Amino acid sequence: MKKNFQPNGFTILELLIVLGVIGLLILFGSILLGTARERARDATRLSDLDITRRALEDYFHSNNRYPQAPTPILLGSTGYKVICAGTPTGFAETRSACGGSTVYLDPVPTPPLPEPAQLSGYSYTSINPNNTYTIDAALEGAVNGLQGKVQISPAGIQLKP
């Protein structure tokens, strides 16, 4: 009587094909996930800038000027974590340092990590007589026609020249 040989497992070729397909799925998934994360960080940056712009407009309407910063400052860094009316510059380290005055933004947002290589943080400048300001920031990808360095001012958001 002749027995037919039937293998009890998979052949090497079948295992290699399955591993190759799994590898391709992981590769495509990581590429798509990385792009989605980049877009999410950029959306967060634009949202942060809009929140800050609105707080600065509230500050301006109450004080007839924007917070002082003749040289660029990094928003959210030491000394610039709160926008309030109780300090000479319009910025404070903590809410309590505002001396009970109106607080317009606490905390001042900081960009999500990792940051784009073009620019680190949100850089704020207001020039005497403090009737305008700019905030320089950078995006990782493209959002609504914006990409690279962007600038926020009372007029809105635009690509940085």
Summarised one tens digit per residue, pLDDT across range 100-150 is: 899 999 999 988 888 777 777 899 999 777 889 999 998 888 777 777 888
Q: What is the mean pLDDT of residues 34-47?
A: 86
The answer on pLDDT for 10 being more than 80 is no
Kindly report, residue by residue over 76-94, the tens digit of the pLDDT: 888 899 999 988 889 999 9
Q: How far apart are CA 43 and CA 25, in angstroms?
A: 27
Token pair, residue 36, equals 């989605």
Task: List the beta bridge partners of residue 74.
Answer: 123
Per-residue HEC secondary structure of the chain comes to CCCCCCCCCCCHHHHHHHHHHHHHHHHHHHHHHHHHHHHHHHHHHHHHHHHHHHHHHHHHHHHCCCCCEEEEEECCCCCCCEEECCCCCCEECCHHHHCCCCEEECCCCCCCCCCCCCCCCCEEEECCCCCCCEEEEEEEEEECCEEEEEEEECCEEEECC
The answer on pLDDT for 6 being more than 80 is no
Predicted local distance difference test score (pLDDT) of residue 3: 67
Q: What is the mean pLDDT of residues 10-38?
A: 85
Q: What is the mean pLDDT of residues 46-67?
A: 93
The pLDDT confidence band at residue 28, using thresholds 50, 70 and 90, is confident
* Residue partners of 134: CB distance under 8 A and separation at least 6: 124, 125, 126, 151, 152, 153
Give me the residue spans of the domains in the chain: 12-66+109-159
Predicted local distance difference test score (pLDDT) of residue 33: 74
Length in residues, the chain: 161
Contact 111, 119 (CB under 8 A): no
How far from 15 is each of 5, 23, 26, CA to CA, in Å?
20, 12, 16
Report pTM: 0.76
Predicted local distance difference test score (pLDDT) of residue 157: 82
Q: What is the mean pLDDT of residues 5-29?
A: 84
Q: What is the mean pLDDT of residues 40-69?
A: 92
Predicted local distance difference test score (pLDDT) of residue 35: 79
* Residue partners of 150: CB distance under 8 A and separation at least 6: 49, 136, 137, 138, 139, 157, 158, 159, 160
Question: Percent of the chain scored above 90 by pLDDT?
Answer: 36
